[in-house]
Amino acid sequence: MRLFVAANFDAALRLQLFEAAAPLRQAAPGVSWVPAERLHTTLKFIGERDAALVQRLVTALYSLGHTLRACDVTLSGYGAFPNFRRPNVVWMGGEPAAPLVQIAGAVDDACATLGIPREERPFRAHVTLGRVKRPLAAAEAVTLERIAAARHEAFRWHVGSVDVMQSTLGRLGPTYAVLESIPLGGGARP
């Protein structure tokens, strides 16, 4: 099964983020935009693993859930990896980033104890809004950057849990399922 660990948004915030990105979608229809129901922040991509790993992962994450605190993050500001001239990913950032960086680092540590390789790149607090499958025309990239720079929405997000997620690839894109939600701040395991 294909696994990752995420910090998810509630349905209302997902819809707000999706609606806020509408001008970006109009500016760059060639980007593969993420539907509202799939918006989340990936803390750790694990990949294809045997189903037997899930229970061990859940146990490790419950242990760290007692040591990490829930936090509030503001989602605002658009960007692109690596940049808007050659975008691969269009995103909205999260500030302050430090609490999410701490959570992602703890998730990475917990996964490493299970033999899952550590992340090679530093964690960047963001939500992926779209993926660029083919290079954008220069004019389309410039327009996308201009519209992104003109947007100033900000959304409050309470990060109260981390979720073990299963991703199932399909013809219409992936579908995600929460396998287990681990509360932050010492919430009891059901």
Please identify every residue annotated as catalytic.
40, 126
Side-chain-side CA neighbours of residue 176 (13 Å): 21
Listed residue (93, 115, 126) closest to 47, CA to CA: 115
Side-chain-side CA neighbours of residue 150 (13 Å): 9
From the number of C-beta atoms within 10 Å of its C-beta (0-12, 13-18, 19+), residue 146 rates as exposed
Total residues belonging to the chain:
190
Contacts of 51 (CB under 8 A, 6+ apart): 1
- 73: β partners: 157
Listed residue (50, 45, 59) closest to 167, CA to CA: 45
Angle at 144 between CA 142 and CA 150, to 5 degrees: 105
